[in-house]
Structure formats: structure tokens, C-alpha cells
């Protein structure tokens, strides 16, 4: 969570990685509840979509629902 606090202070949490996933997407995929809670409570924008080239632009919430989280 400390690293996420630093990333948030640097506004890096809004940036996607090479796969198009934000830190929130990655936290959901890897099932890190403490980081997810921190990011959501910091109101970074839980509706951030991964910038995919297909018609399916999924949010971290979509991923969590599909994983049954």
C-alpha cells in the first residue's frame, strides 16, 4: 500500500502499462484487496477502462465481477 500511496502522489495510478492495464486493473487481477480498497477509497476513478483495440473495454469492476470477487 505504501508504494500505491507514492504512485498516487505521482499521479502514476492513472497510467496504463504496456498491456493497457492500470494499477487498479492489476490489483483486481492479482487479488490484492488492501490495494484495491486504497485505490477505490482515493477516488482515482474506478471506471477507468483498459485501452484495448477491440469493442470490449473493461473496467476493473468488470474484471472483479467476472472473477467472482
Total residues found in the chain within this entry: 69
**Higher pLDDT residue, 44 or 9?**
9
> What's residue 8's pLDDT?
74
Q: What is the mean pLDDT of residues 46-65?
A: 68
Predicted structure pTM score: 0.70
Q: What is the pLDDT of residue 24?
A: 84
Residue from 52, 41, 44 nearest 10 by CA: 44
For the segment 32-48, the average pLDDT, to the nearest whole number, is: 77
Give dist(CA 1, CA 29) in Å, integer: 16
Cα–Cα distance between 31 and 38 in angstroms, integer?
13
Task: List pLDDT tens digits, range 14-36.
Answer: 777 787 788 888 889 999 988 88
Amino acid at each position: 500500500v505504501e508504494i500505491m500511496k507514492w504512485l498516487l502522489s505521482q499521479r502514476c495510478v492513472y497510467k496504463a502499462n504496456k498491456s493497457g492495464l492500470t494499477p487498479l486493473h492489476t490489483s483486481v487481477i492479482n487479488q490484492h484487496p488492501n490495494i484495491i480498497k486504497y485505490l477505490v477509497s482515493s477516488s482515482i476513478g474506478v471506471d477507468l477502462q483498459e485501452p484495448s483495440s477491440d469493442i470490449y473495454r473493461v473496467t476493473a469492476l468488470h474484471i472483479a465481477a467476472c472473477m467472482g470477487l
